[in-house]
Structure 1
Amino acid sequence: MTNAPHQDLRQNLDAFIRKYHRNEMLRGLLLLLAAFPVAWLTVLALEAFGQFGTDARTVLFYGFVATITVVTVRYLAWPALRLFRLRGGLNHAQAARIVGQHFPEIEDRLLNTLQLQERAEAAPSDQGQGLLLASIQQRSEQLRPYRFSAAVDFGENRRYLKYVLPPMIVFAALYILAPEAVEAPTDRLIRHRTELVVPPDFRLVCDQELEAIAQSDFTLTIRTVGTVVPTRVEVQAGEGRFRMTRTPSGDW
């Protein structure tokens, strides 16, 4: 008796299993693409507003690394291991149940055929086995027109794009429009074990020579550079303190 129908059934199931695990990997990749910008934007925002010390920055950095590692291993690496049969994966019975959900008209026949095959492989070779193999042959022929891999539709993953595209667009737009908002906290997080001095909100810049003739008037002009403009500037000279006046141009 030819084994072609018997082998075709298993090959059909194997094709479904491979496609099933590839689909798992595709979903995992989409999840990773969504998780990466969301997680990184979260730690960047926390660091940008908190400007933490070394301990807190270390927690943020390794929290991000741990999150991405878990997502990568759980949803991308494990399906890859199952695809190459290095770690578990669907067996034929599990695959048959999933296929049966897509083709309900053959679910019982498919499971029964697999059970008969297991009995035939375990039974000794005798006349009774001939009837068993004939039944397997007949059932396998009835199942041959079905392409089990059609039960997996890669196109269904398009629904996950709504979770992937928005965070990627936000991250890209922020980096293009305000690169310093991304680069500065990123640098501090990467150097999380280095004690960093938080820069002041503004600094005073004087572009003139600070020399004057004794007993003569001296006009001092300074300007401020930074994200904040001070409301009051004073100069101390000796024992005296002098309040400076702001000019229309913004200098003092």
Structure 2
Amino acid sequence: MLFYGFILLNLALTSWLVVPPLMAYLKLGKTLSHDDAAEIIGKHFNDINDKLLNTLQLKKQSAGDESHRGLIEASIDQKIENLKPVRFPSAINIKENNKYLKWVLGPVAVILVIGLAAPSILTESTKKIIRHNEYFAPVAPFKFVLLNNDLSVVQGEDLKLDLKLTGNLLPADVYVETANNTFKLDKESITKFHYQFSNLQQNTTFRLVGNDFKSQPYEIKVNLRPSLLHFDVELRYPAYLHKKNETLNNAGDLTIPAGTVIKWLFHTQNANSLGFAINGKNHKLRPSSPDLFEHTERVVGASIYKLNPQNTVVAHSDSAAYRITTIADEPPAITVNEKPDSVSNQAFYFDGKIQDDHGFSSLAFHYRIGEPGSKTGRNVVKPVKAELNQSISDFFYFWNLKELDIKPGDRVTYFFEVADNDDVNGHKKARTTERTLNVPDENQLREELNAGTTGVKQKMQSAIKLAAQLERDSKKIDQMLLNKNSLSFDEKKQVEDLLNKRKELDDLVKQIQADNKKNLYNRQENEEQSKELLEKQKEIENLLNNVLDPKTKELLQKLQQLMQQGQKTRPEMSYQK
């Protein structure tokens, strides 16, 4: 009622004091004439009095009397000069208003006493008039004092409301009243209560009620929780792996080759930033589009990354951590078998195998030629052909020392080296054991050639002795087997021993021929051959070819045939003891 009474009073005063002057200014309704206005002005300004009215009258007179117009206008100008200037405060006569002061002193004194003794009477009443649409609870003999510093939570969290009562006549129970429900607070003591709001999802308004007295409304502000809905990863593998790029959905933990470039696409809700931490580096991501965040990282080692969606009011929400396991590029491996030439001392054959998990960038043969004890020398690198794009590849390499311009007494060190194609950490290499080849000088070479010749002679002597024994045994067996169609066990054993000696002699002859050929070849490579030496080599070849006389060879062949026939056609024959 007070509010609406205040409104009606102001409307009445406006219609009485504001509307008429406004209508007059707008020339609406009944208006004053110039003479009426001049008469009113003359009453309020003593200096003007009736001068303004007389001037207006002279103006009208000059319009009707053409003969005296000049004289009249001169009189008008004189009066106008007398009217300037006019002070506006002269229209107000304060002394005439003193008689109204006695009516003002009473109300002013009452207001001053109330303002000093109980100012709330003035302020509270005024507040209720101005804020008429708000609820003002009846004044209770106690007060509800909330101990919570802040009534705001993150969406989905709980809020414990702590309450303290002060004053007289405290209620035994206190209730919290929301829009749809009323709950009783848990009582800790006479003055302290608490209540747990659980799983808050939206702003909640409540009042506290005790002994039918209600508190002012309070509001719990629920801040939207930023959340990570799901995320995808785009994997761009190192080019040297020749592996097709791929996209994984909802992939947290990853196992990838080292050097893979990962692009994450994070889909969020209620987030305006995303904390991304990896290997001690923190990044604050901004959305590339609504609710979408992107980040790209090249990962070369095992890593852990953490995600923390955020917004303007929630800096720390539910975070998540994931692990990245990287598959390191393994170093290559190489194995090599070395075989010298069967004839020449200046030729070597190598066959080997290389293997790596993702292929190779190079395979080379390294050697260095220098004097013994010297750290300097001529280094040479020769590429070796192999299937470098395979994970396992066999290779072969022929090394001809004649092409190296080696001097007698030089030292040659050599090894094979293979490099993988790791473009992430750099090409890793593996090499074989470094080997050394000491090139003999002239004296050493002559000694080696002579030693080879001596070895051939010694083996020839052994072959001659074995051939002589073989001939004697052959004749003995030939006499023993005359006019016999079968062999006893002992006889067969003697024939087998004889044939084994024949095989032993053949092997020894072949070895001597190979050694002799090698010795001859090496002499031809390293020194000029005399005619006499060449004739001796031919004699050795002829001697080896005829180490057994034709008759002995024929007898051994017949014995071998007899052994074979006995095994095939007479398996049932019993041997004589």
Same fold (TM over 0.5): no
More strand by share: 2
TM norm structure 2: 0.20
Q: Which has the larger radius of gyration?
A: 2
More helix by share: 1
TM norm structure 1: 0.38
